[in-house]
Structure 1
Amino acid sequence: MSQTVDFWVDSAAVVESAISSRKSVRAFTSQEVPRNVLQHLLEVASRAPSGTNTQPWKVYVLQGNSRSELVAKVCAAHDGLRADPGLADQYKEEYDYYPEKWASPYIDRRRENGWGLYGLLGIGKGDKEKMHLQQQRNYRFFDAPVGLMFTLNRVMGRGSLLDYGMFLQSLMVAAKARGLDTCPQAAWNGFASIVKPHIGASAQEMLVCGMALGYASASNPVNAFQTPRVAVNEFTNWLD
């Protein structure tokens, strides 16, 4: 009996460690991730729950030339948009990830996160050039060797985005358990008009997000950034 208890305690510690140590990594090494490892991670993630087992996720894995070519295309578009803001109409997100009008406490947390990261990187509030370059790191997958794109068939309802969140979290936790790190990226959504033709997605597919995956760079100070979390009692109502 003691051995059984010890096994479950050890298993719980491993799972909890993978969840609590997962964070968005913004600097990766060039170390490649074998395809069989990616295949395994996606198989594990596919056990995520979904309403009536619809399994609405569709994944595109970019490595090598496919990754490099997409990076070049979107970085060029990002630079072009900065030079001519009038191009914004060409780059629309396919769904509202963020609210149209922000309110507290969400805007406060967003600002805390943004300025905490920029402060670590030495980027001041008025330094538009450095801000632009840091934002563009998203479109380079933060140098990760693997880029992932996730799409959803438009026939599905909003509930499928809930299913998708569980799938993405499962993938990120499974990766962490294998010594890999990730960064989920909504930043790609505005460039869906470039991303989807590049990956061969149909017009019926909506880009949900991208993700960088690889081995974290231990020497890059950006990976020391740790986001805070509010206390449980701040978001929980206990009903007896």
Structure 2
Amino acid sequence: MNVSQAMKERRSVRAFQSRIPSAEDVQKLIADAALSASGGNLQPWRVTALAGEPLRELTDAVATAQPADDSEVPHMSYPPSLWDPYRSRRFKNGEDLYRTIDIPRDNKAARLEQLARNGLFFGAPVGVIVQVDERMGYAQWLDLGIYLQSFMLLATERGMATCPQGYWRRFRDTVEQVLQVPQPYRVAYGVALGYEDTEAPINTLRADRAPFEEWADLRGFG
């Protein structure tokens, strides 16, 4: 599989098989993703991968924890009062997702239950938590995004599936306590990792993309 194929095949998977990737495969994936570019070669990521009992310890702790308010967590998820076209894209993506599992908009309880599955890494056998020194700035958060993209594409190439999750920032105090994250590192994001359950309806979602003309233009070409 080449990079172009991995780009086309990668997607956020929200239902996984119970099969656990080997420690060797997970370590190689984490290490190979660190070949990503970073400004000044700072390599501002710190990565913890969990499986088995350590994973259960984390998910159990988060299940009973009080989430932080959005205002308390920098870079939570989305800007307040999101505007178009971004608001419409987010709305459509959510509706398309819930449609795959037959949860109508007025079933708030079922939607919240599905949201809470973030705290189980959607049943993935491996949970990955990426951390960053809290003194780092905007540019280093861009580097974290580059690392995440590399991680996901490499996982796709190797037959694994992923789902990136900003959800874990909401529970960063609990996560950092359970994992004994050294100061001054803070949770940046999580990634569910494993093998896709291809029979799960939720994995039929295929998010669309805005047309090129909506967000790009070419200038100075013949």
Same fold (TM over 0.5): yes
Letter in 2 for 1:124: P
- Mark the runs of 5 or more structure 1 residues left unpaired by the alignment: 1-12, 82-86
8 Å CA contact 1:22–1:173 kept in 2: the answer is yes
Tell me which of 187, 198, 215 is aligned to 2:195.
Answer: 215
| Higher share of residues assigned helix | 1
Greater radius of gyration (CA): 1
Give the drift of 1:111: 0.3
> Which of 18, 21, 37 does residue 25 from structure 2 map onto?
37
Matched, 1:122 2:102: yes
Q: 1:88 to 1:39 in 2, by over 3 A?
A: closer
Per-residue deviation, residues 146-204 of structure 1 (Å, max 9, x unmatched)? 00001110221110011110101001000000000000001111111111111111341
- The 5 A counterparts of 1:35-184 are 35-77=23-65, 89=69, 92-184=72-164
1:5 aligned residue: none
Unaligned runs of 5+ in 2: none
Q: Give, in angstroms, the shift of residue 41 of structure 1.
A: 0.8
SS state at 2:130 partner:
strand
Which residue of the partner structure matches residue 6 of structure 1?
Answer: none
Q: Which residue of 2 aligns with 1:84?
A: none
Partner deviation per Cα, 1:22-70 (whole Å, 9 max, x = no partner): 0000000110110110111112101100001000000011111110111
Contact 2:68 2:171 in 1 (8 A): no
Say yes or no: does 1:229 pair with 2:217: no
Q: Secondary structure at the match of 1:213?
A: strand
Cα displacement string for residues 208-239 of structure 1 (whole angstroms, at most 9, x for unaligned residues): 11110000001111100010001122211211
| Equivalent residues of 1:91, 1:192 under 8 A apart | no
Output one character per residue of 1:117-148: Cα deviation in whole Å (capped at 9) or x when no partner: 11121111121221121011111111111000
How far did 1:91 drift? 9.4
Q: 1:193 aligns with which of 156, 160, 173?
A: 173
The root-mean-square deviation of aligned C-alpha atoms, in Å, is 1.7
